Amino acid sequence: MTSVSFGSLAYLVLLGVFVGSYFFVSGRTNWSQTLRHAALWVFIFLGAIIAVGLWQDVKRTLVPSQAVFAEEGRVVIPIAPDGHYYLTLGLNGTPTRFVVDTGATDIVLSQDDARAAGIDPESLTYFGRANTANGMVRTSMVRLDEVTLGGITDRGVTALVNEGEMNGSLLGMRYLTRFAEVSFSQGQMVLQR
């Protein structure tokens, strides 16, 4: 049992003892009403536990994900609740999630995503510079053997690895211009080869 799950269990036990003590003290005169209230609270807690447990499944159903129509050379990406477009590409066989940034020129990889794609960030020479919203950062140019998007494959794609900290990777215009058409309509970004 991890320390997080042990802490959660301890919290739930303490909460149960507190609620149980309340019902015991308040219900000493009318036990039938106390049992009804206790049953109601048990159902509320069970409902909350079920809702939390099913949230990821519900979220996957309610929040659409990208759709690739490889035979048509078309990709449809829905806008996320935070107002951004997220696209998952395969980098050298590793699925990598990107924030689509039409204000960025290049594909910019975080060090974690570069490592996952088989690139060692510690062995790179960071001689490039990029001007970002957070100021100037040092970068290193790399070549990705293979970038896949569903059935669409590009080889020898250049990208930058950011020397600084990034929460995720950015997908800039250099990759998007590989598509004949990029359009935005009704909360969707459509890429057409």
Q: What is the pLDDT of residues 101-144, one digit of tens each?
A: 888 889 999 999 999 999 999 999 988 888 776 778 899 999 99
Instruction: Name the 3-class secondary structure at 64.
Output: coil
Tokens 């806008």, residue located:
79
More confident residue, 64 or 31: 31
According to DSSP, residue 119 is labeled -
Q: Is the pLDDT of residue 145 over 70?
A: yes
Q: Provide the pLDDT for residue 2.
A: 64
Distance CA 68, CA 54 (A): 27
- What CATH number labels 67-192? 2.40.70.10
The sign of the torsion formed by the CA atoms of 171, 62, 75, 77 equals negative
Average pLDDT, whole number, for the chain?
Answer: 83
Q: Domain segments of the chain: what residues?
A: 3-62, 67-192
The model's pTM is: 0.65
